[in-house]
Structure 1
């Protein structure tokens, strides 16, 4: 048992860092790091814990600290709160049963604690298939909801429950925070990457890196090497030029002087009738990961690897250029200028598409603009009986308070712009 008072009881796994709020009202489960230095927020000095507690009580914990953490606390007025950090890898599912709020990181454990048999919510399954890229609080299990990243819930017995977002991504799109100097922007990104890698990868462990040789995994490799971490790279390849990136991975491994294993997944082994993530309340995953996971685990076991790291999500951070968005943003920001034509041809060359067609789409997009809630239903391969014309469920972030700036500097540092589509860095 980690914490117990009149209203709140917390149990935790020994593998997670646990820190108590200094006012005795709750705990912080997971990793909390200081904003500007690669150090943990909780240390030997009690003043450090007091600062975290004060930030939490003031409602600005995620502005002053970062990491993968969940805060559980009881307020003097009898309200139980649970807050999940904006980029949290610890799951948080909950049920209200018999006037009691039950929160757990595993749904099987959650159902056992609530003494409730598992039951599929088919309406939620349909919504999940139709809006598969939209984060929703409902899961595919009846009565089981999720506290989403950047969200918090307040519970007052027996059933009063309120969910709200304590993280606002729109503050990063205000014109007053726009960085117009590409050199300054690139230096800031470089420093932040090295700081975050140094904080998230403690010394004394042996890491396995999924290395394709592309931008995202190469950044992790370079940052790990710069931070002096011991890493071993693993790359996957298949027959044909499109699926063989070994030359890129070898170049990165050779340059950084790290070892590299190469694996070839067998396309005959994945079972399409078997879920690769059956334990999740939304068992959604690409089927081929069954084979890549198997190979990676075998290689990691042979080398006594402690932890896997990868560059997943990098496309959302460093702009995966597959649309006319950059050109549309340049048009909105600079007007019909040579910058617009240059961006059109740069994006067309990167995507190997027709520049004239891309330019026309950019003009249409730049003229109409893009609403932050413009989500389309995807009913491909689904039964026509599903309610695919229904409106999307609530968006996982609040609407913008002010008009956001149309663009931000992208990774190329060439004056080309990167758009922000409401929530995370968009696919351009």
Structure 2
């Protein structure tokens, strides 16, 4: 632990060997920390002690990064703070909450998770609200620290305090789209390369706007880059022409991986939560294998970009535009983007105005009789958010929703989403929702910000690629393996899922024409996670 002394030396902290760490006399940092004004990295223990000398809220105002910070307060207590990006996992465990874990596999190997027990209340919540990521995990006695939150350690009765409040940024509002685009460009160019690191970087270029902006930011700072793109066998997910345009424009070597190149992958060791979706496992494994083959230190992608850049398919931004006197222009933009008449846009806007926000959406499909449903637990980021303008509430909720999909640590390696960094999140939340929906396109401010840095085929593009066809083919291929998981697994045995309904759906080839296939694969992902933990002795 370097210079760390006092109570810090009594702490058990388990993390991946890939992560950097820094110790001061009263603080221990896992990850990287930068000064807000200069973007200079904190690189010695004395500077770390000075950064946290006042309090955590001051640190959040004057610094940013991707980190978990443990420090000793002036009163001698231990506290842990997780940065708002959530880039580094942070779980707290132990009978007295004295163990901090970022990796379930290492924690289990060191016997720091004794006699793990499944938290069945979490399982039901995961089934009912599959994309809501709050403090509870799938194991009793293990909780996740919310990004931007702090909590005392070595105190079993303590709870977290949300110090970084996205609501304060969402309430702010810029007036000029040109100013918003200029600030977005400046912030992205200064923060994204820092969040990516200095090693040889493998960038996943999907051909979409978000990963293209990421590539432009890294190329502008002279990073050592190689790129790869995934081309499906169906046109909906074959984005080669766009990926090649970006890579060629920026001078980045590009590797094209075809769907036929993807091999079956062995299940990853179970984390504290179920994975994203087993239909994605083969792609994730292929990316990690290629990273290792070329010797890249990290993998980066544009994950979170849609949520960050205010992508919306609803009329909520139009409601916000009324407040700013921009309703007509925003309606015209939405009409152009959606190919709907102005009358149709007006009708949908009126319906949205009359419909009250309903809270976190649930998914009742295939739930069994023993699943005791309850209201969704409120995510700390959404505390007080009901008072926000409707479009801004949608924007903030989307940033909460995407957290479920950004946890790729189970596949191994260092996989990052550099767009999702604190300065960029704060700036994007301060941009009104109607500004993102302008000029007949989505993510309009981001397009304007990088108009001169990317090919016109990217900045003027109005379509999005999709993995839907790939998901359907993977579902058909994996259906024989999923059948016993779904029909004879722990969820069916406990009547938490409707076995008869699942059996009927598995026989119905029409399941591919709607959302049932994706829902079944999510349930199979949960069942596979349960099976893995039970095989390791979980009760």
2:160 aligned residue: 163
Distance 1:212 1:16, change over 3 A: closer
CA distance in 2, matches of 1:267, 1:302: 15
Q: How many residue pairs get matched?
A: 399
Contact residue 87 and residue 150 of structure 1 kept, 8 A: yes
1:6-32 Cα offsets, whole Å, 9 max, x none, are 4643556654333334xx322222111
Match status 1:410 vs 2:435: yes
- 2:133 corresponds in structure 1 to 135
Q: Secondary structure at the match of 2:270?
A: coil
User: 1:184 offset after TM fit, Å?
Assistant: 0.7
- SS where residue 29 of structure 2 aligns? strand
1:251 aligned residue (245, 248, 255): 245
Q: Does 1:342 align with 2:327?
A: no
CA distance in 2, matches of 1:27, 1:131: 35
| Post-superposition offset of 1:113 | 4.9
TM-superposed deviation, 1:104: 1.5
Between the aligned partners of 1:100 and 1:169, the Cα distance in structure 2 is 27
2:13 is aligned with 1:29 = no
Change (3 A) 1:49 1:102: closer
Which is further off, 252-261 or 353-362? 353-362
Higher helix share: 2
Long gaps (5+) in structure 2: 393-431, 445-539
Name the residue aligned to 1:424. Answer: none
Q: Distance in 1 between matches of 2:361 and 2:386?
A: 24
The two structures have a TM-score, normalised by structure 1, of 0.83
Match of 2:365 in 1: 380
TM-score, L = length of structure 2: 0.67
Spell out, residue by residue over 1:247-284, the C-alpha distance to the aligned partner (whole angstroms, 9 max, x if none).
0011111111211111112499557xx75x54311122
Say if 1:294 and 1:10 are closer, same or farther in 2 by CA, change over 3 A: closer
Residue aligned with 2:159, SS: strand
Alpha carbons of 1:402 and 1:361: their partners in 2 closer, same or farther (altered >3 Å)? closer
Partner Cα distance (1:156, 1:144) in 2: 14
Partner SS state of residue 387, structure 1: coil
- Are the counterparts in 1 of residues 201 and 300 from structure 2 also a CA contact under 8 Å? yes
Shift of 1:219: 0.5
Structure 1 position 103, deviation (Å): 1.5
**Residue 217 in 1 paired to residue 246 in 2?**
no
| Aligned match of 2:429 | none
Residues 197-239 of structure 1: CA distance to partner in whole angstroms, max 9, x if unpaired?
2312344x21111111110110111111111112111011112
Whole-angstrom CA distance in 2 between matches of 1:43 and 1:75: 19
Residue 36 of structure 1, CA deviation: 3.2
The answer (yes or no) to whether the contact 2:233–2:259 under 8 Å persists in 1 is no
Displacement of 1:190 after TM fit?
A: 0.4
> Which of 82, 87, 90 is 1:89 aligned to?
87
The structure, 1 or 2, with the larger RCO (C-alpha pairs under 8 Å, 6+ apart) is 2
Report what 1:293 is aligned to: 284
Q: Secondary structure at the match of 1:232?
A: strand
* Secondary structure in structure 2 of the residue aligned to 1:60: helix
2:306 — aligned with what? 315
* CA separation of 1:400 and 1:51: change in aligned 2, threshold 3 A: farther
Query: Structure 1 333/380 Cα, relative in aligned 2: closer, same or farther at 3 Å?
Result: farther
Give the alignment of 1:6-405 within 5 angstroms: 6=7, 8-9=10-11, 11=13, 15-21=18-24, 24-42=25-43, 46=46, 48-49=47-48, 51-55=50-54, 57=55, 59-97=57-95, 99=96, 101-110=98-107, 112-114=110-112, 116-155=114-153, 157=155, 159-174=156-171, 177-203=172-198, 205-266=199-260, 270=264, 275=267, 277-334=268-325, 338-349=328-339, 356-368=343-355, 370=357, 374-388=359-373, 390-397=374-381, 399-400=383-384, 403-404=387-388
- Distance verdict in 2 for CA 1:6–1:244, change over 3 Å: closer
Change (3 A) 1:339 1:411: closer
Instruction: Determine helix, strand or coil for the equivalent of 1:139.
Output: coil
1:47-68 C-alpha deviation (Å, 9 max, x unpaired): x44541235x263211211111
Q: Is the 8 A contact 1:29 1:69 kept in 2?
A: yes
Partner of 2:461: none
2:275 aligned counterpart, secondary structure: coil
Determine if contact 2:12/2:99 at 8 Å carries over to the other structure: no
Q: CA deviation at 1:333?
A: 3.8
Q: Give the Cα separation in 1 of the matches to 2:200 and 2:262.
A: 32
Identify if the C-alpha distance between structure 1 residues 77 and 299 changes in structure 2 by more than 3 Å, giving closer, same or farther: closer
Alignment root-mean-square deviation, CA: 3.0
Q: Which consecutive residues of structure 1, in runs of 5 or more, have no partner in the other structure?
A: 420-428
